[in-house]
Amino acid sequence: MNFLFKTALFFVMIFFVACNASNSSNQVPTQSGLPINPSDPNGLKTYSYSDRAFPDDNIWNTDISQAEVDPNSATYINSLGSTGTLHADFGTVWAGEKLGIPVNVVHANQPKVPVSFTYAEWSDNGPYPIPADAVIQHAQDSTGDRHLSVVDVDNGLLYEIYRAFPDGNGGWTGDSGAIFDLKTNHQRPDNWTSADAAGLPIFPSLVRYDEVVLQGEIRHALRVTANQTRKAYVYPATHQASTLTSTNLPPMGARLRLKANYDISSFSPHVQVILRAMKKYGMFIADNGVSWQVTGDYNMSWDDQELSALRTVPGSAFEVIKLPPLKYTPW
């Protein structure tokens, strides 16, 4: 991944925690221990972890199954690798490190701590509500991307950091960080990164266990990586992460879609949920990395063997929908 952007092998499960003490009787436990809060006592909709992030009309939640194919779709797919295959970059544990992005669920009373950023000019200032036992990507001593994702379910706010490290004084440091209001359509300013190379949120893009196994449906676009991208980006991305100018390469934010005629009937029901989402909502290119890696949450309930079936889906089964106008970061 571009240097500008971008562990306790146990995910801290929260079992049957109320989003609000006054409506705890409405809480429904899930296998992953994450809270579901259908409504507040007055009947008004409130945010919960199990909700789809952002309003229904947000681009992340748009059905693109009938969208026009980009004229350069085949070229972009070839650059990603048409003979390459999907890979679930999530699951349980492999080689001592967590697979996927852990999600730390907090409430409004979570104390906030100071955070400092290397790229402060493109980051949202702290403090962030990071718990002392926050779980990061991979392992606590990892030297990799170390993504940190925190969801405040009471306020519907998402806090994410790229390369998050405790500072030894109760706070954290990171290369870059972003705060997203999951109840609105607000996005980051043009040319700003986030905790992800393309300036996009990570949590709303995850293949999540609660959606796939408990709800049986994913209702939003997913996140995928590409081995090379162009020095350009398209909405909803807000940042490029490459010095390459070849028009054969897709820009950050390009949206891929599994072709409608790709037969998914032989896959297990859970894998079919993921593939159906790729047909209906697609995947945004959000980072540089190994092509076709699809991001999901870390959860010890995943069946890694079942997820491995994704490796049989070839790049040639995908197409790129028509790109919005290209944008360029002026440096």
Could you state, in order of their start, the residue ranges of all structural domains in the chain?
A: 27-40+49-320
- What mean pLDDT is predicted for residues 136-143? 82
Which residues make beta-bridge pairs with 283? 222, 256
Beta strands in 127-185 (DSSP E): 148-152, 157-162, 165-166, 172-174, 176-181
Q: Distance (Å, rounded) from C-alpha 182 to C-alpha 256?
A: 23
Check pLDDT > 90 for residue 143: no
**Backbone CA torsion sign across 53, 196, 173, 34:** positive
Whether residue 32 contacts residue 210, with contact meaning beta carbons closer than 8 Å, is answered with: yes
Q: What is residue 139's predicted lDDT score, i.e. its pLDDT?
A: 76
Mean pLDDT score across all residues of the chain: 86
Q: Distance (Å, rounded) from C-alpha 201 to C-alpha 124?
A: 13
Q: What is residue 43's predicted lDDT score, i.e. its pLDDT?
A: 34
pTM of the model: 0.85
**Backbone CA torsion sign across 259, 260, 261, 266:** positive
Written as six digits, the tokens of 4 are: 């500008």
Which residues make beta-bridge pairs with 297? 101
Confidence bin at 22 (pLDDT 50/70/90):
very low
* Amino acid sitting at position 218: I
Give 159-174 pLDDT, tens digit per residue. 999 999 999 999 999 9
Check pLDDT > 70 for residue 20: no
Q: Distance (Å, rounded) from C-alpha 240 to C-alpha 225?
A: 13
Q: What is residue 49's predicted lDDT score, i.e. its pLDDT?
A: 65
* Amino acid sitting at position 28: V
Check pLDDT > 90 for residue 50: no
**Backbone CA torsion sign across 6, 12, 15, 19:** negative
Q: What is residue 329's predicted lDDT score, i.e. its pLDDT?
A: 83
Check pLDDT > 60 for residue 177: yes
DSSP 301: T
Written as six digits, the tokens of 84 are: 């390459």
Dihedral of CA atoms 211, 215, 221, 225 in degrees, nearest 10, equals 30
Give 218-250 pLDDT, tens digit per residue. 999 999 999 999 999 999 999 999 999 999 999
Q: Which residue has the higher pLDDT, 15 or 126?
A: 126
Confidence bin at 21 (pLDDT 50/70/90):
very low
